[in-house]
Structure 1
């Protein structure tokens, strides 16, 4: 039995998100907490999304934490303009 069995029931219904919402998914190929295959699966479920990939990094928190200019610049441009990249960008470690 897991510890979740003893948690209180949620006080509200789960939030439902539209699948066409524009979203920038930031993922590292070696992320130890969120496997890259899960990020690509999420990207596949959200047709309005773009997947920003950092190749060769084994880190979970990337934006503003890892120190990769390509990742930070791409996310900053998205946050400043609200426009997603035209394609799925890939950055190198």
Structure 2
């Protein structure tokens, strides 16, 4: 894990979030800060952010239209908290 610390905080958050939560890439891209519950250490996954070549971005339901809450590891919460302080609208962008 020492190798990942060489990368910017946002890239660390992306990689560790994918590894620690098991969410799909589009689901991770669609997360907004309102989906994070820092008190309970859970993430609400209920949408995906898709990219279309000639259309742009579109929010849609998750692949299987399931609405779920996922627990995340403390290291992921620390990185996400730092990324949130950077002021991005999307949690992982």
Same fold (TM over 0.5): no
Higher RCO (C-alpha 8 Å, min separation 6): 2
- TM-score, normalization: structure 1? 0.23
Between structures 1 and 2, the one with greater helix share: 2
Report the structure number with the largest CA radius of gyration.
1
